Structure formats: C-alpha cells, structure tokens
Amino acid sequence: MEGSLTEPGTNIMLKVLIISLLFITQPPPVTFTSIEYVYGTDSLKAVVRLSNELFLRDYQQTIFDDLDLATLRSFRPFPADLANNYLNSKIVIYTGKRQVIGKLLKMQEDGGDIEFSLLFRVDRKLKSITVRNTILTGLSSKVRNLTSVRGRNTESLIVFTPELPEKTFPLR
C-alpha cells in the first residue's frame, strides 16, 4: 500500500512534521515593562514582568554563564544585587546623553512569572527619555518586549524586538 503510515520513514517524517508544527505554533517569549515619569519629582518608576524560567535562562546565558541553571533555580529568593545588575544591563534608560541607573525596590514571584519594581533618579524637568530594552533578546530572535512609557500627558506603547531595541519617548 503506497503512502501507508506503516512504511519505513513515514513515522519519522510524521514526527518531524509534528515537532515543526509545535515550534511554529509556540508563542514567542513576551515580557512587559511599564515606565512612568512621576511629574514634578526626580523619579521614573519601572515595573518589569516576565517568565521566571526565561529570566533565569537569560541571566545564565548573558550575565553569568559559569552558573548552571540548577544553581540559579535553587536561589530562594533570587539575590537582589544580581537581579539589579541584570535589569540595569537589559533596561537602559538615557536622559539626554546620560545613562541613569535603576535601583531594585521589590522583586516577587507570581506563579511562573517574576516581577521587578525599580526606581530611576532623573532631572525634575525631564522632557524625554531614550529606552533600550533587550530582555531575552539573547535567547530568542522572536522575543517581544511590550513596553509602556507614561509622562505627564503622554503614554506611548511599543513592542521592542531584537531588530528594534531602542526608542526615544517625549514625556510632556
């Protein structure tokens, strides 16, 4: 019988097809970042949310590849200083030509996700910021970093990707 599922090689081709379909239909990694300029203050507040497992894999691959994933998973809670360094390397904010460094205020796990709250000190009369978001871009070329930037009377939404990692936002 020609084309039968019992022919040698047909099962292998079927498995390859099913695995290919799984990869095609698997959603891309997604993160969410919210950055808010608190008008009249010298602060930007940021919240970053992503899969805890993807955070650990990206940390291991891009920051400290000498640690294996099992060791990173065993940290309970994850060390705040290591998380702070990771976030400042992945979420880079410029005011004019000056890079501002964020300070991790809070870190909490929520189901399979992890959420970070950061504070960035900036000038009181800030007109614009440039944001570079490269979270998970070392893991996948299909990553989508959904980012919201809010100023006094403005709100901008953007999807950062490996091809578009940076944008300038007005805050007035």
- Give the C-alpha separation, 97 to 40, whole Å: 21
pLDDT given at position 159: 95
What is the reported pLDDT for 1? 46
The pLDDT of residue 69: 80
Which pLDDT belongs to residue 55?
93
Check residue 27 and give its pLDDT: 73
Predicted confidence at residue 11, as pLDDT, reads 63
Separation between Cα atoms, residue 29 and residue 142, nearest integer Å: 7
pLDDT at position 6 is: 52
pLDDT for 12: 65
> What residues contact residue 102 under an 8 Å CB cut-off, 6+ apart?
46, 84, 87, 88, 91, 93, 118, 119, 120
- Below-70 pLDDT ranges, the chain: 1-26
Q: Provide the pLDDT for residue 105.
A: 97
Domain ranges (residues) in the chain: 28-170
